[in-house]
């Protein structure tokens, strides 16, 4: 568990820009349990964060994950900031470009930002 849930500095590049998974072990330090529940339930984030699936998680499970993640302690560094489309990318990244997808219309159905 040493470096689990500590985010990643490898970006995910798509039509939304370049997103980096957040370091939840650092982020959670600044939140109370109630704030975590509220934040997670209402989170809308960029791909590939599956934020819509968080809405299926029960309040008691969010409370349990809060306790679990807090118990791991603050480890790692903050993930790089999101880079808007066309911005300078200073990290390694994964290109989220579909191939042979004739009917591809982008990630707009899961992108809220």
Given 9, 10, 13, 21, the residue binding ligand HEM (CB under 6 A): 21
Binding mask 49-88 for ligand HEM (x = CB under 6 A): xx---x---------------------------x------
Stretch near ligand HEM under the rule CB under 6 A, chosen from 47-55, 70-78, 86-94, 98-106: 47-55
Q: Is 22 in the site for ligand HEM (CB under 6 A)?
A: yes
Read off φ and ψ for residue 45, nearest 5 degrees: -125, 175
Q: Which residues of 50-74 are buried (b: 16+ CB within 10 A; e: fewer)?
A: eeeebeeeeeeebeebbeebeeeee
CA angle 105, 81, 23 (to 5 degrees): 100
Nearer to ligand HEM, 50 or 102 (CB): 50
């Amino acid at each position: 568990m040493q470096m689990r849930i500590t985010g990643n500095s490898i970006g995910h590049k798509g039509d939304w820009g370049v997103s980096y998974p957040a370091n939840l072990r650092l982020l959670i330090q600044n939140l109370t349990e109630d704030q975590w529940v509220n934040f997670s339930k209402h989170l809308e984030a960029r791909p590939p964060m599956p934020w819509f699936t968080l809405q299926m998680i029960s309040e008691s499970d969010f409370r349990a994950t809060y306790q679990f993640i807090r118990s791991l302690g603050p480890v790692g560094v903050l993930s790089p900031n999101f880079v808007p489309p066309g911005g300078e990318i200073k990290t390694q990244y994964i290109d989220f470009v579909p191939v042979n997808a004739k009917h591809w219309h982008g990630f707009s159905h899961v992108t809220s930002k």
